[in-house]
Structure 1
Amino acid sequence: MSENRCAVVAGHICLDVIPDLSASAREKWEALFRAGQLLKVGPVSFSTGGPVSNTGLSLHKLGIPTQLMGKVGDDLLGQAVREIVASFGPHLAEGMVV
Structure 2
Amino acid sequence: IRLDEARIPAHFTREASLLDLPVEGGSVGSKLHGHPMYAGRAASFFHGELAALMIGTAYAAADEYARIIAERPLALDPGRTRADLHDYQRHL
The TM tier, using the shorter chain, reads under 0.3
Higher helix content, 1 or 2: 2
Find the structure with the greater CA-based Rg: 2
Return the TM-score normalized by structure 2.
0.22
Higher strand content, 1 or 2: 1
Return the TM-score normalized by structure 1.
0.21
